[in-house]
Amino acid sequence: MIQLVLLLLGVDYLRRRWITLAVAGSIWLVIGVLVFIDALDGVLYFPIRFFAWLLLLEGLATLAAAGTGVGGQRTLRYVKGAAFALAALLIMAGHHHGNFVLSMIFGTLFLADGLLQLLSAVVVRYSRWRVVATLAVIEILLAIFFFQPYPTHYVGTAPYAIGLGLAFGGWNMLLIAFRVRRMQNLPPESKRTLALSDDVITDPAIAEKTATAKAAARASATQADAPFEWDGPPAADEKALTVHVWTPVGSARTQANRRLIVDRYIAAVDANGVISTGHAALESPEGIYISLYPGVEIDRSPDEFGRILRATRENNVPGLFQPDYPTESKAWCESTTRVRIRNYHPEKLDAFWAKYRQDSTYNLTYRNCSSTVSNALEAALEGTVGTFHGRDTGWRAFLRLLVTPELWVAAQVRKRAATMAWTPGLTLDYARALSMLADPRPFSYLKMTRLAVRKMLRSRREWRQEASDAADARAGRMDGPRTS
């Protein structure tokens, strides 16, 4: 999540604040270690019940706003809200039973995530698979730590989890803060690249190339024409970046056999046994169209599908970049879903595309249509939250980003894709979440609160009107003509 925050805020934003980030990371790291050590003897000084109330409020607020999400966003919101609320209730319950159940839940989550990452690393074999496999083993060891009662008989479960989360978050923030600090010392002509994260590369030459364009945009922008939030997606005639997604089910040649989750995020199998993985493309108003497709037909039969999942060189095939959306949709079909984003950097997308299209290699797992679109989307959105059309929003942008529910959704999708493979379904959910971050909308919590308040006020007015009408009716009956 930290890496995604820094990606959206941008290098320029972070250079001016790297000291604050380093201090905050150090504080997080120290507090995390102290909380973890504090829990080892079973005597807690950490205000765990106060934290549980905060967790419960966050969980209930997420559940209340979950219905405003779309597709996978809605599901992940419900999962997050239910998990936070359940964890808070178990912490409040305390005693042996609550702590035991909480330990089993944490252990199961760590074990499932570790096994999933280990399995995907061994099967897919992408470039960093050994590192990810090592981290997966560490997760499995943490699961064992939560499962067994030593040393506090499950009393320290919640502080362990809090301490680990703070420590890892602080460590990541420290690494990125010092990495950003080093980047400002690189000469403009340097060809060396430094990554904000392991899979998103920020090239200093690209940053230098776009500096003039950004300065001009900053000079011409005013606070009036740079809104900090938009109430809804872009209109049909509004300038916006468009992500096209053909879902596996929507792009199947014949009626697909429906399988829950699998046909949404991985692949769909039609009546003839042919596997369809879907497709993704990106289109900009400036004329850039990014759509990578295999130049030769890939055998996607069930017998061969396991072999071609490996992200190894023997599975590389020549790729083909489609010229534009009308040509591709006419040859195939219209895209199933579209996600449109107003706030992006055309010059950064152009620089990314100029470099990326020099290599047309296609690999079903690590360099496919979905990974290409996701990387292009990140390049176009790098720094958009830190500066809205040239206006530096200061720490307001940072704080707003942290409390936006879609940040957690985007981070979970990105993590799954980075450790396994990008698919059209994951790209769709990722684009939807990023659209809410790049084009900020009124907070779901506040929006629902306003709707609830308006409904209450409207109901009160209706009740008063009904009471007034009833009183007038009674007065009319009493003042009417009397007969003896």
Distance CA 315, CA 175 (A): 34
What pLDDT band is residue 128 in, cutting at 50, 70 and 90?
confident
Higher-pLDDT residue of 304 and 212 is: 304
Q: How many CB atoms lie within 10 A of CB 20?
A: 13
CA distances from 64 to 57, 77, 175, 402, 410 (A): 10, 10, 36, 18, 19
Section 438-449 average pLDDT: 64
Q: Where are the domains of the chain?
A: 2-183, 221-438
What pLDDT band is residue 373 in, cutting at 50, 70 and 90?
very high
**Considering the entire predicted model, what is its pTM?**
0.72
What pLDDT band is residue 69 in, cutting at 50, 70 and 90?
low
Judged by average pLDDT, the poorest of 259-273, 380-394, 432-446 is 259-273
Distance CA 188, CA 16 (A): 18
* Tokens matching residue 326: 């009308």
**Which range has the top average pLDDT, 92-101, 111-120, 242-251?**
111-120
pLDDT of residue 195: 38
Residue 27 has pLDDT above 80, yes or no: yes
Q: Is the CB of residue 245 less than 8 Å from the CB of residue 336?
A: yes
Which distant-in-sequence residues (6+ apart) come within 8 Å of 17 by Cβ? none
Which distant-in-sequence residues (6+ apart) come within 8 Å of 85 by Cβ? 55, 56, 59, 60, 63
pLDDT single digits (tens) 336-356? 889 999 989 999 999 999 999
- Verify cis geometry, omega within 30 degrees of 0, for the bond prior to 151: yes
pLDDT of residue 59: 84
pLDDT single digits (tens) 172-231? 888 878 877 876 543 333 333 333 434 443 444 444 444 444 444 443 443 334 455 666
Section 370-399 average pLDDT: 80
The 3-state DSSP class for residue 223 equals coil
Distance CA 173, CA 2 (A): 7
pLDDT single digits (tens) 96-116? 677 788 888 888 988 998 998
Encoded amino acid at 247, one letter? T
Higher-pLDDT residue of 267 and 130 is: 130
Beta bridge partners of 341: 241
DSSP H helix total and E strand total for the chain? 18, 14
Beta bridge partners of 195: 201
| Residue 384: closest CA among 153, 182, 230 | 230
